[in-house]
Chains A and B, each alone.
Chain A
Amino acid sequence: MGFNETKYCKEYTGFEMMLVSACRHINSNDIVFNTFHWPFLAVHMAKLLKYPDLFLVLEVGLFQNELVKSKKMPYSITDPVLIPNSVFTGDSIDALSVLQRGEITLALLSTSIIDKYGNCNTTVIGPYEKPIYRLPGGGGATEIAGLSKRLIWLLDEHSKRRLVEKLDFITDPGYLDGYDSRVKAGYPPDTGPDSIITPLCIMQFDSITKEAYLDALHPNVTIEQVKENTEWDLKVAKEVKQIEPPTIREIEICRKTMRDAIDQYYVLKPEWTIYLDK
């Protein structure tokens, strides 16, 4: 495949690959809506690796374009360390205004359950009136998903219970029922999900049906493996791309970021962190 060069890392977890892939999607001129919690890590990596002055908007109404001058990573979007490191602080209406004016070119959001049209559910599993499992609710993701120009969903687990045919509850809008239903509902035509990044692959959305399809595989993953772990009958690109493995440098920054996150009480599953101590 041509990925045997020494600059690549040989051993890494699917979670690390997901973060590296997310980080690669960030461009220097993006106006990024930065969100808790995995996007926070991917954006932090982008700042350390390539764009220290990346412009970020947070839902609390804070804008920043410099690395936080602190040894610690912010524990959340509300960490007071962010305040003396920002160019603007206001309130949540200020953040909503940036979204509504169409100024956000890229948003990354992590979610737990997604359907084939890129809609997400962070509200409830099972019937709404008699839930099997109650989830927290969407916070600001509803608007961020609705109004950002390029939206990237991060899922830390690729399984049939996470990538489903139909949701019990739509908390965050993707392409709703597919085709032009999102625009008909009233969302600006230049907005909507761009990709879904999981530990296994990257999916993109068909330009007509708006259904997610397999576009690119993470290294050492097969098409069958992705299809077997997706609930809907996943369509596959004519030529599925092969994603470049993480470089040694990318993994170095990724693991530094993960360590900093753990120091700030982020809970990472043991299977994601097996290489952290090496």
Chain B
Amino acid sequence: MTMKEAIKKFVHNNNLVFLGGFGNGITFSAAQEIIRQNKRNLSICKCAGGILFDQLIGAGVTNQIITSHCWNGIGPQPTWNFKRAIEEGIPQKIIYNEQSLFMINMSFFAGYMGLPFMPIRSIVGTSIYDHPKDVGVKAATVKCPFTGEEICVVPALNPDVGVIQVQRADSEGNAQMWGLIGDTKYGINSCKKIIVAAEVIVDKKVIMESPERTIISAHKVNAVVHEPWGGHPSYMQGFYYTDLEYRFNYTKETKTLEDWEIWLEKWVTGVDNRQEYLKVLGQEKIKKLKAKSIMQGAVDYGF
């Protein structure tokens, strides 16, 4: 399936959408296809939003973000669409469902485990515990029946649909990721519909050579997309490095609404798919970002 077909089939207006990748394999290709298809009123969740969320906010795709952080990590520098939306309601007002990094991770973990909530020893006493007021109960305190201790609990998140960008998958959807996982494994497994985008599609035999690298198995994957460089400008361990220059310049290039519209046209709405995006990026940059191979870690699985 192509990214275009997968997003069309599985991402619908008003959905709660999980977007994978914490540093490693951020789902930029999927997010930009969501923008091109002009989806509306999505709630989007991810442990740290960064410039990915900034683009979805600027394009008017989302009216609620569930995250712990939204900024450009390179610099660090502000994300202007995010600030325009919250400070001025441009292009629309959005709700920021305030999370802490580990709180949202525990909500995904509860969703992953098929449990209604998970305890966590933080956020009590902070304003995150009960802000914003219009998203219902975000956290509560319960008494441990075994020790009598009071402990904070956070609810499960079970997004309608999720997308991940991984190093490799087989055609059935068994997906492998290595390097930093962040919230990707628990996040994607907590979703009801699942799109796996992979740098390479491999034979199932390759997956079975190191099954501990699989973060989601095919039994619950709905679509497999072969999407090389789908994580640019983030990195994919073993494939390509972060485009620091592009990410650094993003803040400067999207500072005003006019700047942002030019940026959006150049990189998202003016191209039809990731292959065309890569043409805009150019061969020279692609060559520069390509990872230098470090093969390591062969082990003996004998018995």
User: A134-B87, A142-B122, A267-B76 are contacts. A91–B127 as well, Cβ < 8 Å?
Assistant: no
Chain A 70-112, CB within 8 Å of chain B: the 1/0 string? Answer: 0000011111100110000111110110011000000000000
A36 contacts the other chain (CB 8 A): yes
Task: Give the CA-CA distance A96 to B87 in the complex, in Å.
Answer: 32
B67 contacts the other chain (CB 8 A): yes
Task: Pick from A78, A83, A84, A188: contact of B22, CB below 8 A.
Answer: A78
User: A75-B244, A80-B24, A143-B102 are contacts. A89–B121 as well, Cβ < 8 Å?
Assistant: no
A residues in contact with B235, CB < 8 Å: 80
B residues in contact with A143, CB < 8 Å: 100-103, 120-123
B237 contacts the other chain (CB 8 A): yes
Task: Give the CA-CA distance A266 to B242 in the complex, in Å.
Answer: 15
Task: Give the CA-CA distance A146 to B101 in the complex, in Å.
Answer: 13
Residue on B with the closest CB to A184?
Answer: B125
User: A78-B180, A136-B69 are contacts. A171–B127 as well, Cβ < 8 Å?
Assistant: yes
Task: Pick from A100, A128, A142, A266: contact of B100, CB below 8 A.
Answer: A142
Task: Pick from A90, A131, A187, A265: contact of B244, CB below 8 A.
Answer: A265
- Report A180 CB to chain B, min CB distance, Å: 12
B270 contacts the other chain (CB 8 A): no
Task: Give the CA-CA distance A37 to B76 in the complex, in Å.
Answer: 8
B70 contacts the other chain (CB 8 A): yes
B105→A100 contact, CB < 8 A: no
A residues in contact with B245, CB < 8 Å: 265
Size bracket of the B interface: 35 or more
Residue on A with the closest CB to B26?
Answer: A78
A186→B183 contact, CB < 8 A: no
B residues in contact with A37, CB < 8 Å: 76
Residue on B with the closest CB to A60?
Answer: B180
Task: Give the CA-CA distance A128 to B98 in the complex, in Å.
Answer: 11
A123 contacts the other chain (CB 8 A): yes
B residues in contact with A23, CB < 8 Å: none
A93→B237 contact, CB < 8 A: no
User: A142-B128, A143-B100, A265-B244 are contacts. A78–B47 as well, Cβ < 8 Å?
Assistant: no
- Interface residue SS majority, chain A: loop
Q: Which of A187-239 contact B (CB under 8 A)?
A: 187-188
Residue on B with the closest CB to A134?
Answer: B86
B residues in contact with A22, CB < 8 Å: none
Task: Pick from A76, A96, A146: contact of B105, CB below 8 A.
Answer: A96
B69→A138 contact, CB < 8 A: yes
B132 contacts the other chain (CB 8 A): yes
A140→B186 contact, CB < 8 A: no
- Report A137 CB to chain B, min CB distance, Å: 5
Chain B 103-114, CB within 8 Å of chain A: the 1/0 string? Answer: 101100100000
Task: Give the CA-CA distance A141 to B103 in the complex, in Å.
Answer: 11
B185→A91 contact, CB < 8 A: yes
User: A139-B48, A267-B76 are contacts. A92–B22 as well, Cβ < 8 Å?
Assistant: yes
Task: Give the CA-CA distance A61 to B181 in the complex, in Å.
Answer: 8
Jot down 15 A-B pairs with beta carbons below 8 A, ordered by A. A60-B22, A78-B23, A80-B235, A80-B242, A89-B179, A128-B132, A131-B87, A136-B69, A136-B76, A137-B69, A138-B101, A142-B100, A143-B121, A146-B123, A171-B128
A contact residues vs B (CB 8 Å cutoff): 36-37, 59-62, 75-80, 83-84, 89-93, 95-96, 99-100, 123, 128-129, 131-134, 136-143, 146-147, 169-173, 176, 181-182, 185-188, 264-267
